[in-house]
Amino acid sequence: MKKTIKTIATATAVVSATALTVNAKADSVTSNPTTENNDKVQTTVTPEQQLKNNVDTTKANLDQSKANTADAQAVVDNLQKQADQTQSVANSAQTALNKAQQEANTAKGNVDQATQEVSNAETLNQNLDSKTQIAQSNVDTANKEVNAAQNDVNQATQEVNEKNKQ
């Protein structure tokens, strides 16, 4: 964008310089009147008239250069406005990108934390399963001991009943 603006400014300067170039040189003006053929009408042009014509042409060229410069400046201003708008859009997009990146980082942190919590829960569950198996084994052993003791009680009761019968 800046390169385009510089190019337009350079072109404007060249056009202005070219338009300001005057063909009126002191050595090109003769002191003898000259004649021109304009639609087969002959007129005599004096050196003063030639200089005046040259001045008028130079003024016209200057006016045209000013108009060209104004037009070029309008183009430059328009391009600058577009560049500013484009920069504004780019800045907004960068802000949105930064926000999205921050949200993605936060989401990744949340996922990492949730994954750690799941891992901790799985470890806790495995520990509980292990403790449950140990407790079940202890219950089974206790039940066997209770059953054995009950059998002993039943056998002793039976023996007592038999002795009582005798």
pLDDT in tens, 105-160: 999 999 999 999 999 999 999 999 999 999 999 999 999 999 999 999 999 899 88
Range of the domain at 100: 2-165
pLDDT of residue 39: 53
Would you place residue 12 in the very low, low, confident or very high pLDDT band (cuts 50, 70, 90)? Answer: low
pLDDT of residue 163: 84
Strand 41-45 relative to strand 34-38: parallel, antiparallel, unpaired?
antiparallel
| pLDDT above 70 for 162 | yes
At 121, list the tokens: 């829960």
Q: How far is CA 142 from the centre of its chain?
A: 71
89 half-sphere exposure, CB direction, 13 A CA radius: 6
Rounded CA separation 23/21 (Å): 7
Would you place residue 42 in the very low, low, confident or very high pLDDT band (cuts 50, 70, 90)? Answer: low
| pLDDT above 90 for 29 | no
| Number of domains making up the chain | 1
pLDDT of residue 18: 47
Q: Which residue has the higher pLDDT, 19 or 12?
A: 12
* Residue 31: DSSP 8-state: S
pLDDT of residue 34: 47
